[in-house]
Amino acid sequence: MSEYNFDYLDELEAEAIHILREVAGQFEKPALLFSGGKDSITLVRLAEKAFRPGKFPFPLVHIDTGHNFEETIEYRDEMVARIGEKLIIGSVQKSIDEGKVIEQTGKNASRNALQTVTLLDTILENKFDACIGGARRDEEKARAKERIFSVRDEFGQWDPKRQRPELWNIYNGKIHKGENVRVFPISNWTELDVWNYIRRENIALPSIYFAHQRDCITRNGQLMAASPFLNMDSDDIVESKKVRFRTVGDMSCTAAVESDADLIDDIIQEISDSKISERGARMDDKVSEAAMEDRKKGGYF
Amino acid sequence: MNILKFFTAGSVDDGKSTLIGRLLYDTDSILADQLEALQSSNRKNDDGTIDLAILTDGLRAEREQGITIDVAYKYFQTEKRKFIIADTPGHIQYTRNMVTGASTANLAIILIDARNGVVEQTIRHSYLVSLLGIKHIVVAVNKMDMMDYSETVFSAIKEKYKALALNLGLKDVTYIPVSALKGDNIVQPSANMDWYEGESLLHFLEKVDTDLQDKTTQARMPVQWVIRPQTDELHDYRGYAGRVLSGTFKVNDNVTVLPAGTSSTISKIEFFENELDQALAGQSVTIHLKDNIDISRGDTLVNSSALPMESKLIEADLCWMDGRALDPSIMYLIQHNSKTTKCKINEILYKVDINTLEKHAADEFKLNDIGRVIIKTADALAFDLYGDNRANGSAILIDSRTNLTVGALMFRASVE
């Protein structure tokens, strides 16, 4: 067995492919939730490895807040054209226009919370029974307890106290009508694992992950991209900084970090040295100690 | 670099969460903003230091009650290895959670409070470790700081545990005296216990062998999905996609498809854009056969020279995981890798009192009960014994009324 050189990235990859194929085998109408962020981009790569030369047995679904970084949308459209798979877009703007949600007001207004409604509507409309997402257990402590196959009721709610036991590598995808399952194939990956995999696989990413010059303001101690989507006033001082983003949410809730890392090796070095966790750059988690748990219970990704 | 998955068995009172918190803290795996949240929390140790246990208590109910009620997965990495910890609750009412956490682990840390020694809980946890077939065991004798770092205390506990290990057939046991609270022998060797000549916990975890347990000739691959592009250029393409559970498949190997029993030869093994000579345990691949035979999800490819058992009547250990008791009169579903079929529990042979390890006759099976049953399946399963092949010797039970996973099964014998 001397040539058995199966390292940790191979093992994580093989596990994720196994999970994706279980989704294909167990569900009638699965979907892959695609945000344009590095985690969902990694999922697309894993799906290629799981199903090529066949087509994906699911479409990609993007919940579009309308407050995107334009680089993300460009990337999304190029990628979809390259891989030749179907893309379904759920629009938060449409949910607002239809009166299903009400736009937040005030300085910290964000469409992040509104996405949940659009996501649930999109699931309902397309009758999706499984949604594959790029969440990882290292992101946040509520996520640390979530199953790889995580059942949601018809209101999209996660009940952390009634999770199914998940044993060995056997995933129970049985559900009742109206329920759906969120599936997290890269649960066991860390942020650094994802970056190392992206480097190894030579996967292209939206340019906002790399250091670039951008107009920013400082909000609650964090750097935010100046944009029409941010409710700015005269107290906000716009400064040009060299920054990059560690996660890709919408522009009103994703904070930048000052960085010179414009190559993937530099980013990996920066993360290895970093003392701020990835979700630390998400204002949406800052509301209370149980912020993520509450949003997940409500149907969030 | 590879991955070690381990789980920790102990209770809050033994300092389990503190131990995990200490491993994360001392390996620099806690980031600044998490540390900040930790420091601003109002839970502190008696001496005012940070309560590291908060790091692993994820859910609100757990923070409120100060207990771990579910399995939480934690990750850290050193230069030598990536670690995945399943942090499981130790209390008897959470036995099913411990079984869940243990099912994917290849090492167990059994935590013993040096003040109390081997107690009922230790027996219970060690039994579960033996039941789940975990290869390596570390007995971490914690709170040594409260026993003056006494070698005598440690040795007495070690002797007592050895007897238990012998009784349970646990072979690979390593004993380490630690103080999770003070950090002795967790990452750094302790200056307070120079009588201890072994390694710190982390150093041991870094070097313990993690070879996939099923180093066996039993090549097994359940088919998860058949890849059929059906395009003009790939008109005849038919690839069987799955993850090798155990053993090795090589090109030109003779394989048998179960349950049909038809045989063929491997013509090609693919992984994405690459062709491989062989596929090893743990790899997700696509296998092609020379003959065009009818294969679909739920079938298993095995090497023809080492066939698994095939039976509809199987003796198995069962851990019951649902609040609704086992009902022998109804049909359940059994999921064995990619195969799902109906089944019934034909007979309860015995139940085990997991605190005393005594077996006794039983006619009911409730939440957290463990024992031996005979299960009858609608379709025959192609399986191996759990003791030989964990991946092909395990299955779950699903209640088709609720769709919940209600039982964990470890196959021990074919009855036919």
Contacts of A170 in chain B (CB under 8 A): 335-337, 394-396
Residues facing residue B225 across a β-bridge: B241
DSSP characters for B72-123?
A: EEEEEE-SSEEEEEEE---SGGGHHHHHHHHHT-SEEEEEEETTT-S-HHHH
Q: Which of A11, A165, A188 sits opposite B100 (nearest CB)?
A: A165
- For a pLDDT cut of 90, what percent of chain B falls above it? 68
> Cα-Cα-Cα-Cα dihedral of B167, B171, B174, B175, to 10°?
10
Q: Which band of pLDDT confidence, cut at 50, 70 and 90, is reported for residue A1?
A: very low
Nearest residue of A to residue B247, measured between CA atoms: A1
Tell me the β-bridge partners of B276. B269
CATH number of B2-207: 3.40.50.300
pLDDT of res. A300: 63
Residue A48's closest chain B neighbor by CA?
Answer: B272
Instruction: pLDDT band for B241, please (50, 70, 90 cuts).
Output: very high
| Mean pLDDT of chain B, nearest integer | 89
CB contact under 8 A, A21 and B242: yes
Residue found under tokens 């399952």: A181
Q: Are B103 and B136 in contact (CB under 8 A)?
A: no
Phi-psi region of A220 (alpha: psi -120 to 50; beta: other; left: phi over 0): left
Q: Which residues 244-283 in chain B show a CB within 8 A of chain A?
A: 271-273, 280, 282-283
Does A129 contact chain B (CB < 8 Å)?
no
CA atoms within 13 A on the CB side of B78: 16
SS3 content of chain B, % helix, strand, coil (to 5): 20, 35, 40
Q: What is the pLDDT of residue A202?
A: 95
pLDDT digits (tens, 9 = 90+) for A165-212: 999 999 999 999 888 999 999 999 988 899 999 999 999 999 999 999
Class of domain B220-303: mainly beta
Distance from CA of B192 to the nearest CA of A (A): 31
Lowest mean pLDDT among A264-278, B303-317, B384-398: A264-278
Is it the case that residue A287 has pLDDT exceeding 50? Answer: no
pTM: 0.91
Burial (CB < 10 A; 0-12, 13-18, 19+), residue B233, is exposed
CA of A43 to nearest chain B CA: how many angstroms apart?
14
| Range in A76-90, B56-70, B352-366 with the lowest mean pLDDT | B56-70
User: Is residue A2 scored above 50 in pLDDT?
Assistant: no
At the topology level, CATH places domain B309-414 in Elongation Factor Tu (Ef-tu); domain 3 (2.40.30)
Q: What is the DSSP letter of B41?
A: S
As given in the structure block, the two tokens for residue B4 are: 């070690």
B37: chain A residues, CB-CB within 8 Å:
289
* CA-angle at B36, arms to B30 and B40, nearest 5°: 130
What per-residue confidence (pLDDT) applies to B68?
54
Same fold, B2-207 and B220-303: no
Contact A172 B405 (CB under 8 A): yes
Among A246-260, B114-128, B371-385, the minimum mean pLDDT is found in A246-260
| pLDDT digits 0-9 by tens, B148-192 | 999 999 999 999 999 999 999 998 999 999 999 899 999 999 999
pLDDT at A93: 79
For residue A145, what are its two tokens? 């307890």
Query: From the list B74, B225, B404, which residue is nearest A164 (CB)?
Result: B404
Cβ–Cβ under 8 Å, residues A182 and A19: no
What is the predicted pLDDT for the residue at B264?
97
Distance from CA of A106 to the nearest CA of B (A): 26
| Cβ count within 10 A of residue B350 | 12
- Domain layout of chain B by residue ranges: 2-207, 220-303, 309-414
Tell me the per-residue pLDDT of A69-109, one tens digit each, with 9 for 90 and over: 888 999 999 999 999 999 999 887 787 788 777 877 776 67
Q: Do B31 and A280 touch (CB under 8 A)?
A: yes
List the domains of chain A with CATH numbers. 8-193+290-297 (3.40.50.620), 207-285 (no CATH)
**For position A156, what pLDDT does the model report?**
75
Over residues B39-66, the mean pLDDT reads 62
pLDDT of residue A250: 74
Of B127, B167, B128, B221, nearest in space to B408 by CA: B128
List the Cα angle A189/A193/A197 in 5-degree steps: 115
Contacts B404 to A, Cβ<8 Å = 164
